[in-house]
């Protein structure tokens, strides 16, 4: 027999509430991504996030979390994660990472994305493509009967094949009544290692990908994580429930409406 797990799996009714929390967060982030253009400030985006969350009868989970002051983390260019929103004006070509969390009826959703304000240069375009694809592969590996190391391996191998680095100091995590629960979900690892993945596990998978080296440090504000080499960093995150049928992304974002509409 395997060792007893240190984390509790969620029941179907609990996942149902998390699904609704995730749906609202996905819509919130789609809205914020749309707003992220040259000329806007991180504080503007933070206010948009807080308003959206409260308008949907949810609680902005980040406010006061370990003392974090805002509803949204905004990390720009060489900033990796945990950026505190300021009135710095976002400029053409900035790579902007948005991380947001909310609570619905006591249940968390945690998700984020990077977006370029204006036109991305070649490196930013590739960082965005590689990181989003790494997340997609990580999610695909989150199958019942697999192992957490399969997720990390899927992310790491894709990122490193592209010549980029995965951040190791920060990892994905279980999520539920708390934002950060066991188990940890690293963005690196070996297949077939770590906890067994079972239905009812709900995790946040969040690759942080650096254009240069993997090393990071925290600024004097005690929050903002930056790359040591000053090169840019990119991040995508989804809250994912493992069901009998496979991984279900709870924080999927609605697709932008296309001209002429269409079914589905």
Judged by CB under 5 A, which stretch of 8-16, 30-38, 110-118, 147-155 contacts Mg ion? 110-118
Site string for Mg ion, 223-242 (x = CB under 5 A): --------------x-----
Residue 187 corresponds to which tokens in the numbers above? 């963005």
Per DSSP, the residues of 25-81 read HHHHHHHHHHH--TT--HHHHHHHHHHHHHHTT-EETTTTGGG--SSEEEEETTEEE
Classify 113 as helix, strand or coil: strand
Asked whether position 99 contacts Mg ion by CB under 5 A, the answer is yes
Judged by CB under 5 A, which stretch of 21-29, 41-49, 134-142, 206-214 contacts Mg ion? 206-214
Residue 29 corresponds to which tokens in the numbers above? 């982030």
Nearer to Mg ion, 77 or 187 (CB): 187
Query: Min. distance of Cβ 98 from Mg ion in angstroms?
Result: 9
Site string for Mg ion, 3-42 (x = CB under 5 A): ----------------------------------------
Q: Please, where are the H alpha helices in 114-192?
A: 122-140, 148-161
d(Cα 231, Cα 227) in Å, to the nearest integer?
6
- Taking CB under 5 A as the criterion, the residue among 204, 205, 208, 240 binding Mg ion is 204
Asked whether position 181 contacts Mg ion by CB under 5 A, the answer is no
Query: Min. distance of Cβ 146 from Mg ion in angstroms?
Result: 20
Query: Min. distance of Cβ 9 from Mg ion in angstroms?
Result: 19
C-alpha distances in angstroms, 155 versus 18, 148, 151, 201?
24, 11, 6, 19
Q: 129-152: b or e for each residue (b if 16 or more CB lie within 10 Å)?
A: ebbbbbbbbbbebbbbebbbbbbb
Nearer to Mg ion, 93 or 168 (CB): 168
Burial (Cβ within 10 Å: 0-12, 13-18, ≥19) of residue 220: exposed
Is-contact 79 226, C-beta < 8 A?
Answer: yes
Judged by CB under 5 A, which stretch of 16-24, 35-43, 203-211, 219-227 contacts Mg ion? 203-211
Judged by CB under 5 A, which stretch of 83-91, 105-113, 152-160, 238-246 contacts Mg ion? 105-113
Give the binding-site size for Mg ion (rule: CB under 5 A).
Answer: 6
- Taking CB under 5 A as the criterion, the residue among 44, 50, 79, 110 binding Mg ion is 110
Query: Min. distance of Cβ 133 from Mg ion in angstroms?
Result: 19
Is-contact 234 209, C-beta < 8 A?
Answer: yes
Asked whether position 214 contacts Mg ion by CB under 5 A, the answer is no
Judged by CB under 5 A, which stretch of 53-61, 128-136, 189-197, 204-212 contacts Mg ion? 204-212
What is the contact surface with Mg ion in residues (CB under 5 A)? 99, 110, 112, 204, 206, 237
């Amino acid at each position: 027999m395997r060792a007893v797990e240190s984390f509790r799996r969620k029941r179907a009714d609990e996942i149902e509430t998390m699904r609704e929390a995730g749906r609202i967060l996905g819509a919130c982030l789609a809205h914020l991504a749309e707003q992220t253009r040259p000329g806007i400030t991180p504080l503007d985006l933070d206010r948009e996030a807080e308003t959206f969350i409260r308008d949907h009868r949810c609680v902005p989970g980040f406010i006061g979390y370990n003392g974090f002051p805002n509803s949204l983390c905004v990390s720009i260019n060489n900033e990796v994660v945990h950026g505190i929103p300021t009135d710095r004006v976002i400029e053409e070509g900035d790579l902007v990472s948005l991380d947001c969390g909310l609570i619905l009826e006591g249940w968390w959703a945690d998700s984020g994305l990077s977006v370029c304000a204006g036109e991305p240069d070649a490196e930013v375009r590739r960082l965005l493509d590689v990181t989003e694809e790494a997340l997609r592969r990580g999610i695909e590996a989150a199958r019942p009967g697999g192992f957490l190391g399969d997720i990390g391996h899927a992310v790491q191998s894709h990122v490193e094949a592209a010549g980029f680095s995965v951040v190791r100091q920060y990892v994905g995590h279980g999520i539920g009544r708390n934002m950060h629960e066991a188990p940890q979900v690293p963005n690196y690892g070996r297949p077939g290692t770590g906890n067994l993945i079972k239905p009812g596990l709900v995790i946040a998978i969040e690759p942080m990908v650096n254009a240069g080296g993997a090393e990071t440090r925290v600024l004097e504000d005690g929050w903002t994580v930056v790359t040591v080499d000053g090169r840019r960093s990119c991040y995508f995150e989804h809250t994912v429930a493992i069901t009998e049928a496979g991984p279900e992304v709870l924080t999927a974002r609605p697709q932008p409406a296309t001209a002429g509409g269409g079914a589905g």
